[in-house]
Chains A and B, each alone.
Chain A
């Protein structure tokens, strides 16, 4: 379930929208921090390519097989418990791509990783997934979006047992 973008060298271009500091003492922030917060067109496009890859996209730290953060691990576990179809799922490891790691926070306007998208719509982070899982909201959503593993056909096959 790994999806890696080619590690091309992307130079920061002028942001397509102006960066307006939300706070007056911008000098607190290093120049590097400010640069990273500009969502360049190429980063935006890279993110949108990931979001187009599969219906269910989880931006996480580490991989589903080897999560590098407790919150990412919990999110993967929930998606597994809900029965998300692996064929309709892709996980993006932000630890391997710092540009996406910073870019997705800007894109989603959400400060932390992990982040779940279903059909390009931002659903939330770990806490929200846990809360929605417990309230059954998540199951309903995933079913509605048709991203769950289809019912086993073998169940029907078992019913047709040969008579003795």
Chain B
């Protein structure tokens, strides 16, 4: 029985193995963009993804480095014709997920 979401499966598998994420949300936004001119003639239902990833591997790294890590893991799916067209990433360390607005909330009356 073949999966109807092969790319999503691949994403999940690769990121789980390499990042041991605490949180891994894979949102398939392809439907939202299917009517766009750029997507004319495209039959794939797996073109646009939005990923929320929390992993200890991200701690101490700037956003760019974190995104590059994910890009490298998904390199094949991104470069392949008919693969991932757009990739939105939110990459947090476990600490950042726990206390999301740490900086902003300084000075707020508790």
- Interface of A toward B, CB cutoff 8 Å: 22-23, 28-30, 33, 37, 61, 68-69, 71, 109-112, 122-128, 131-132, 135
- CB <8 Å contact, B79 and A127: no
Known contacts being A124-B67, A125-B67, is A71 close to B80, with CB within 8 Å?
Answer: no
Report B72 CB to chain A, min CB distance, Å.
9
Kindly name the residue among A23, A33, A109, A128 whose own CB sees the greatest number of chain B CB atoms within 10 A. A128
- CB <8 Å contact, B63 and A109: no
How many A-B pairs have beta carbons closer than 8 Å: the answer is 48
- Interface of B toward A, CB cutoff 8 Å: 37-38, 63-64, 67-68, 71, 75-76, 78-81, 84, 86-90, 103
Supply 11 A–B pairs (Cβ within 8 Å), ascending by A: A30-B81, A68-B38, A111-B78, A111-B79, A111-B84, A122-B64, A124-B64, A124-B67, A126-B88, A131-B63, A131-B90
B residues near A122, Cβ cutoff 8 Å: 64
Nearest residue (CB) in B for A134 is B104
Known contacts being A33-B81, A69-B38, is A22 close to B86, with CB within 8 Å?
Answer: no
